[in-house]
Amino acid sequence: MKKRLTWKCILCIFILGVALYSICPLDKKINLGLDLQGGMHLVLEVDTQKLQEKERHDAVDRTLEVIRNRIDEFGIGEVPIQKGKENRIIIQLPGMKEFDRARDLIKRTAMLEFKLVDEDEERLRKALDGEIEEGYELKYLPDKGETPILLKSEPELTGVFIKDADVVRSERIEHPYPYVSIEFNREGTKRFAEITKKYFVKRDSPLNRRLAIVLDGKVKSAPRINAWITDGKAVIEGDFTIREAKDLAIALRAGSLPCPVNIVENRTVGPTLGQDSINKGILAIIVGTLVVVLFMGIWYKLSGLIANLALFLNLILILGLLAILGKTSETAFTLTLPGIAGIVLTIGICVDANVIIFERIKEELRAGKTIRTGIAAGYRNAFRTILDANVTTLITALILFYCGTGPIRGFAVTLSFGILTSMFTSLFVTRLIFDLITLNRKVTKLSI
């Protein structure tokens, strides 16, 4: 008996230690949702009309992955991003303050293309008159006069082969703007070397072909190929600010969107409203817990204090599980107001189980059984009832999780964790405490 209780004590201490370690410090371990810290809620619609039929089936998934990579590069941290209905993507950016910048970065196609400039003046003149030959397109250089140039429609190279992109501050007086330095992967380096070798004649020769750098359909620059470039590096110049250059580098590193996206819903929540929600949620937990603690202490006396201890352990275990889930899951858990509601509900579930157990124990004691026998019989008889009630609730929570979205899933998660932890604290922890109390002394009366 003593050996069995020792192992039970070690198990309880270990579980409690893991939970406490997971939640300390609490404010850095659990991600708060949009309704708790403010931020931005976006619903995007993926425009697949211009894609071929074979490309449409996974266009939303590819778009979602690119957007997720961009947000990760942006430094916001783990955020809820999920597919909606009818080619839609739902994004929540808790704590986001730079709303316009976030919108621009998410919407940006970031399609980078390297296209050859056609040097035939006669063909250019015809293009300016509206006679653009097939396989060519008319563009304009981003200079003061917007010089027209004719490009081949088919790109020589695209941003698909980009390995890295970074911002570099220019040291040239004639062009003081920052630029974006890009580096191709192995295949891109090979192709870029072939292109520059093919169209390079000699250093600073007017016969060298120009290679236009086109970003989202706009020409950024069209430098001459004055060297055979084998290191797979190039630069994108423009009248960028530091922030614009950084956002472009982020978009290029994350990859281009397979198709355009449109923002169909845009809501922002201020941090003041979010803090007010946190305060009300915490107040609800405190008030609910205090009411329950007072009721259990008054009605069940010493046994009620044991139930209250189990209740506090239950809250610690729930927070520990949420913290572990938030840092180890593929899609980090985010606590929202419905999630707090789930925690409040589990307070009642935990106490309900203890009430059933205590009433069963009282029935056994009235029947004339001893204290230890009455406790054992009370737990044994209450187990089936508690299990049935919690399993049906758990099934409902799982259905909410798989069928719901966003905050509904958050409620389902906290409710599910609360059910599991309440069963552990009510059936295991409180039974252990009763066994320890009655182990080495003859108890003639139970305060229940």
Nearest to 422 by CA among 338, 320, 351: 351
Same domain as 250, residue 122: yes
Res. 363: pLDDT tops 80: yes
Residue 446 domain flag: no
Strands across the sheet containing 88-94: 81-83, 88-94, 39-46, 261-269
Q: 392 CB contacts (<8 Å, ≥6 apart)? A: none
Q: How many Å is the maximal CA-CA distance in the chain?
A: 111
Task: Report strand pairing: 31-32 vs 334-335.
Answer: parallel
For the record, the structure tokens of 205 come out as: 């020769």
For the record, the structure tokens of 72 come out as: 């990760």
Same domain as 208, residue 311: no
Give the tens place of pLDDT for each residue, 418-437: 999 988 998 889 888 888 88
Same domain as 96, residue 23: no
Same domain as 44, residue 15: no
Question: 28: which DSSP letter?
Answer: G
Task: Report strand pairing: 334-335 vs 81-83.
Answer: unpaired
Q: Which of residues 256, 286, 312 is at a domain's end? A: 256
Residue 8 domain flag: yes
Which CATH number does the domain housing residue 371 bear?
1.20.1640.10
Res. 448: pLDDT tops 70: yes
For the record, the structure tokens of 270 come out as: 């201020």
Which CATH number does the domain housing residue 250 bear?
3.30.1360.200
Domain holding 239, by residue range, is: 112-256
Same domain as 215, residue 202: yes
Residue 352 domain flag: yes
Determine the 3-state secondary structure of 214 from DSSP: strand
Nearest to 13 by CA among 439, 437, 429: 429
Q: Which of residues 240, 266, 292 is at a domain's end? A: 266
Same domain as 205, residue 123: yes
Same domain as 426, residue 309: yes
Residue 413 domain flag: yes
Residue 448 domain flag: no
Which CATH number does the domain housing residue 47 bear?
3.30.70.3400
Task: Report strand pairing: 179-184 vs 233-236.
Answer: antiparallel
Confidence of residue 198 (pLDDT cuts 50, 70, 90): very high
Give the tens place of pLDDT for each residue, 246-276: 888 888 888 878 888 888 888 877 666 667 7
Nearest to 284 by CA among 338, 247, 328: 338
Nearest to 298 by CA among 80, 126, 183, 448: 448
Same domain as 383, residue 296: yes
Q: What value does the CA radius of gyration of the chain take, rounded to a whole number of Å?
A: 32
Q: 279 CB contacts (<8 Å, ≥6 apart)? A: none
Same domain as 432, residue 317: yes
Residue 445 domain flag: no
Res. 136: pLDDT tops 90: yes
Across 218-247, b (16+ Cβ under 10 Å) vs e yields ebbbbebbeeebeebebebbbebeeebbbb
Residue 443 domain flag: no
Same domain as 284, residue 247: no
DSSP string of 60-127? Answer: HHHHHHHHHHHHHHHT--S--EEE-SSSEEEEEEET---HHHHHHHHH----EEEEEEE--HHHHHHH
- Tell me which amino acid residue 308 is: N
Give the tens place of pLDDT for each residue, 75-113: 665 567 888 888 888 888 877 777 788 888 888 888 889
Residue 298 domain flag: yes
Q: Which of residues 256, 290, 322 is at a domain's end? A: 256
Q: How far is residue 104's CA from residue 70's CA, in Å, rounded to a whole number?
A: 11
Q: How far is residue 271's CA from residue 200's CA, in Å, rounded to a whole number?
A: 57
Question: If you average pLDDT over residues 179-184, what whole number do you get?
Answer: 90
Same domain as 203, residue 311: no
Determine the 3-state secondary structure of 331 from DSSP: coil
Count how many domains the chain has: 3
Same domain as 211, residue 354: no
Q: How far is residue 389's CA from residue 399's CA, in Å, rounded to a whole number?
A: 16
Q: What is the pLDDT of residue 94?
A: 78
Please report which helix (H) or strand (E) contains residue 263, including its range. strand 261-269
